[in-house]
Structure 1
Amino acid sequence: MTAPALEELFTLRVEVGDPVDLGPAPDGHRRMVPILGGTLEGPGGLAGQVLPGGADHQVLTPGFALLDAQYVVETAAGERLSVHNRGVRSGSRQDVAALARGEVVDPERVYFRCTPRLSSAAPGWAWVCGRVFVATAHRHPHRVDVQVFTVL
């Protein structure tokens, strides 16, 4: 067997609101980050938007964050896809703490990878239900950029 190849599917620029702090729990500090909207861009002129109303539920520890985001994207043609994106963001304690405070951190110093699960009832996107996707991401103070790849 050989290692699977990746093919770029699209890039999401997800606008996020201020975190809602839920406080410390036995497994880490919990918070919820509202998803306010955003854009979708991909090869071949693919375009669309991230619909408002989703959320990213996070568990923060001193060296990493576990992320669990759910939201909906809509293509310019009106086709909707559900996104359930689980990820890990890790780095030094200082960098992880700075990100949690909403500060800018060089993305080269942060490991931020995700496994989006996509689904759609739109005929042109039904194929996503039977594929695996991986993503790399970068956290900005009020936005997260997520580059999604199909595992071939």
Structure 2
Amino acid sequence: MTAPPAPGAPEAPGLTFLTELSVTVGEPIDVGPTPEGHRRVIPITGGTVTGPVLNGRIIPGGADYQLLRTATLTELDARYVLETPDGHRIYVHNSALRHGKVQDIARLNRGERVDANSIYFRCWPRLTTASPEWDWLNGRLAVGTGERHPDRVLIRIFLID
């Protein structure tokens, strides 16, 4: 839900679509309830990167460190590496919030399919690299949307203009 702009309000920055990540994931490692909330670690096993600007693959070995704050709110902290077709590597640190009805979040946590429209899944990925070709990413901010599927996560990344 978006409120109408106030009279005289500054114009919001635009968004430019960068890429879509299809991140394949393994079975969750359940740490259990901790003082901060229920912790889980989701191994990242690979995936694809497809878009008008950035393409490649996701290198296996990263993970999504999840904190189930409540029965309806999960904080996500994923860290992994992308590799472009010509071998450049880009580190991704993606923080996110996933929110939904109790029954929908419980189904997601059991690995079941849930309609993506019933879940609020937004992220703020940070992409950094040592590659001169992709150095411009180091100075850009991005936001994204996410969808959790039983075997993968779809992340659509947009650069903030």
Q: Which TM-score band (shorter chain)?
A: over 0.9
| TM-score for both structures, normalised by structure 1 | 0.97
Q: Which has the higher helix share?
A: 1
| TM-score for both structures, normalised by structure 2 | 0.91
2:67 matched residue in structure 1: 59
Equivalents in 2 of 1:135, 1:124: separation in Å? 23
1:113 matched to 2:122? The reply is yes
1:8-63 per-residue CA deviation (whole Å, 9 max, x = no partner) reads 0000000000000000012211010000000000116x421000000000011201
Equivalents in 1 of 2:36, 2:158: separation in Å? 30
Q: Which runs of no fewer than 5 residues in structure 1 stay unpaired?
A: none
The structural deviation recorded for 1:134 is 0.2
* Identical-pair percentage: 52
1:76-129 per-residue CA deviation (whole Å, 9 max, x = no partner) reads 111110000000000001101110000000000000000001101111110111
1:123 matched residue in structure 2: 132
1:18 matched residue in structure 2: 27
2:146 matched residue in structure 1: 137
Equivalents in 2 of 1:8, 1:125: separation in Å? 16
Structure-to-structure mapping, 1:28-67, within 5 angstroms: 28-43=37-52, 46-60=54-68, 61-67=70-76
Equivalents in 2 of 1:8, 1:56: separation in Å? 23
Equivalents in 2 of 1:76, 1:136: separation in Å? 24
Structure 1 stretches of 4+ with a deviation exceeding 6 A read none
Equivalents in 2 of 1:56, 1:109: separation in Å? 21
Q: Which has the higher strand share?
A: 1
The structural deviation recorded for 1:142 is 1.0
Aligned-pair Cα RMSD in Å: 0.9
Residue correspondences, number: 151
Larger radius of gyration: 2
